[in-house]
Amino acid sequence: MRPALLMIPLLALAACATPREACINDALRDVRILDGLIAETRGNIDRGYALEERPEVRTIRRTCTGTTAEGVEFTYRCDTVNTFTTTIPAAIDLNAEQAKLTSLMQRQHEERTLADQMIAQCIAIYPE
Reported as a single tens digit per residue, the pLDDT across 32-82 is 999 999 999 999 999 999 999 999 999 999 999 999 899 999 999 999 999
How wide is the angle at C-alpha 67 spanned by C-alphas 62 and 70, nearest 5°? 155
Q: Which of 99, 98, 55, 60 is nearest to 78 (CA)?
A: 60
Query: Does the pLDDT value for residue 105 go beyond 60?
Result: yes
Q: Which of 32, 35, 28 is nearest to 120 (CA)?
A: 28
The pLDDT assigned to 10 comes to 52
- Spatial distance between the Cα atoms of 64 and 19, rounded to a whole number of angstroms: 55
The pLDDT assigned to 84 comes to 92
Angle between helices 19-47 and 94-125 (to 10 degrees): 170
- Spatial distance between the Cα atoms of 56 and 97, rounded to a whole number of angstroms: 27
Which whole number is the average pLDDT over 88-95? 96
pTM reported for the whole predicted model: 0.68
The pLDDT assigned to 120 comes to 94
Element (H, E) at 49: none
